[in-house]
Amino acid sequence: AVSGGETELSDAERRFLSEAIKWSVLFEEKGTKKKDVAGAEGIEYVLNPMYSPYFHISYRKRRKLELSPSDVRTIIGGEYAEVSRLLRDFQRRWSVNLGDVPLPLFAHLSEEGGE
């Protein structure tokens, strides 16, 4: 889900998400859990389960990841260094140990000394 909703994204970023949905990379689902009662129900983007094994991301919807519009911008069109910084931040937040399992999503971080 994008915190603050899709309205904070640019037209190009919304088109990117739309293309990902069109090509079944992502699926759109109505938001199920609302932390803020006053907040509007948002849209959640779910990775196609076909890609789950490669990225070692569970296809099950037990936890959701809320991305800020800034995070989405970085993922979609950020420079390599910005994306690496964002992934390193997620690595710290989630306590990902790069030695535990081969994680293609974080693989380049170990090459840069991100452990």
* DSSP letters spanning 17-83: HHHHHHTTSEEEEE----S-SSSPP-EEEEE-GGGHHHHT--SS-SS--PBPHHHHHHHHH--HHHH
Letter for the amino acid at 54? Y
**In which residue ranges of the chain is pLDDT below 50?**
114
Q: Which of 51, 90, 44, 49 is nearest to 71 (CA)?
A: 90
> Which pLDDT value is given to residue 91?
83
pLDDT for 93 equals 87
The whole-number pLDDT of residue 102 equals 62
Which pLDDT tens digit goes with each residue over 55-65?
777 777 777 78
| Domain boundaries, given as residue ranges, for the chain | 1-64, 78-115
